[in-house]
Structures are given as structure tokens and as C-alpha cells.
């Protein structure tokens, strides 16, 4: 629980179980997965290895070096990324070296169209944290919860400089419930 200078406790983000596969000297990247650059190949490899469809894996960042190619991805649903269901992939010389993921089952997922206005979510975040919206762009993403359900959330940054507080708050985009927050200061 994060109680950092707030009257009410804000729960921390749930972290789904992380699974890591390592492949020693590597396994060949299937020819059907080799596409364009790092982004396209990484998405294709993760989809193939985890049995997922287009739009269920979203590339977030990556890097290529003399040593290996590294890709960081998020689980997606209707092309909306998950905050806390992520993957990392290492490839080298046409081989998969490792794949780690915390992807979750999506059978209890909220609808992908928010019914709660962002302005209402901002008010809920400010009320819960006793901080003010800092003007950073809001996002709408999915958040896996500890009970196995998946909430669609508005992602809102709030700050209280006097209390040395800067949080990213996850407000349910259907109910207005504050599910969790990430403390950027702690």
C-alpha cells in the first residue's frame, strides 16, 4: 500500500506472474516471423510463441546493438496496451535467446470503450490522492487486477509539490474506482 502523504491509502499496481524462457544458444526465429525491422519481427515472434493474434501484442520500445536485439512489448486488446502485462524478448543472429512475459488471460476483460469521462476520472484521482492533475496527457489502457479481471482505466498523473508527491493514478474508465497508483517519487 502506498500511503505517501495522502489521507487515504492508494493500492500499488498488481504485478502478474512473470514467466521467463531461456534458450541456451538460441532457437531459430521461424521464417514466417521475420518481418521488416525489430518492431515487426518482435511482435510476430511473441504472437507466435504465446499463441496470440494481431492486436494482442504491442511493441513499446527496443534497441539493437552489436551484442543482441532487445524488444519490450505490452499485451494488448483491441490495440489498447496493458499497463502491467508485459514481455521482453532478446534475439541474436536470427535466434531467440530469451522471452519473458507476464501476459494474462482475457476472459474477464472490461469493454474497450470508456463510459466514464476523463474529467470525472481526473476528479477521482485528485480526491483520492489530495494532489492536483499536472496537465500531462491522459491515456486509456488496460490494467490486470489481482482477482483475474481486467479493467479499462484512465491513466492520470497528479502532483502535490508541497508534499513531494507525483503519482500515476489508474481510475476505472467505467466505474470511477481508483484501482492503483505508481509513485514516481518513492
Q: What is the CATH number of the domain that holds 67?
A: 3.10.450
The answer to whether residues 75 and 136 belong to one domain is no
Distances (CA, A) of 171 to 56, 71, 127: 22, 28, 12
pLDDT of residue 4: 44
Tally of structural domains, the chain: 2
What pLDDT, on a 0 to 100 scale, did the predictor assign at position 137? 98
Closest CA to 8 of 131, 152, 182: 131
Are 169 and 10 in contact by the 8 Å Cβ rule? The answer is yes
Strand partners, 74: 58, 86
Q: Which one of 71, 101, 131 terminates a domain?
A: 101
Q: Are residues 91 and 136 in the same domain?
A: no
Q: Domain for residue 51, yes or no?
A: yes
pLDDT at position 10: 72
Quick one: pLDDT at residue 163? 86
Q: Which residues of the chain have pLDDT under 50?
A: 1-8
Closest among 79, 92, 96 to 141, alpha carbons compared: 79
Residues near 175 by beta carbon (within 8 Å), at least 6 away in sequence: 116
Predicted pLDDT of residue 1: 41
Range of the domain at 83: 19-101
User: Closest Cα partner for 91 from 112, 65, 57?
Assistant: 65
pLDDT of residue 52: 96
3-state secondary structure of 12: strand
Question: Could you tell me if residue 85 is inside a domain?
Answer: yes
Amino acid at each position: 500500500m502506498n500511503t505517501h502523504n495522502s489521507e487515504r491509502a492508494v493500492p500499488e499496481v498488481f504485478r502478474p506472474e512473470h514467466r521467463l524462457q531461456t534458450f541456451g544458444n538460441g532457437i531459430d526465429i521461424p521464417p514466417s516471423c521475420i518481418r521488416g525491422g525489430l518492431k515487426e519481427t518482435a511482435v510476430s515472434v511473441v504472437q507466435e510463441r504465446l499463441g496470440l493474434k494481431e492486436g494482442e501484442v504491442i511493441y513499446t520500445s527496443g534497441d539493437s546493438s552489436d551484442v543482441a536485439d532487445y524488444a519490450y512489448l505490452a499485451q494488448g486488446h483491441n490495440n489498447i496496451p496493458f499497463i502491467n502485462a508485459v514481455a521482453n524478448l532478446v534475439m541474436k543472429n536470427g535466434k531467440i535467446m530469451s522471452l519473458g512475459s507476464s501476459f494474462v488471460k482475457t476472459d474477464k476483460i472490461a469493454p474497450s470503450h470508456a463510459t466514464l469521462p476523463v474529467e470525472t476520472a481526473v476528479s477521482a484521482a485528485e480526491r483520492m490522492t489530495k494532489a492536483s492533475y499536472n496537465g500531462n496527457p491522459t491515456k486509456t489502457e488496460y490494467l490486470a487486477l489481482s482477482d483475474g479481471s481486467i479493467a479499462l482505466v484512465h491513466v492520470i498523473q497528479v502532483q502535490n509539490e508541497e508534499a513531494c508527491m507525483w503519482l500515476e493514478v489508474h481510475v476505472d474508465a467505467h466505474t470511477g474506482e481508483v484501482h492503483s497508483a505508481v509513485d514516481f517519487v518513492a
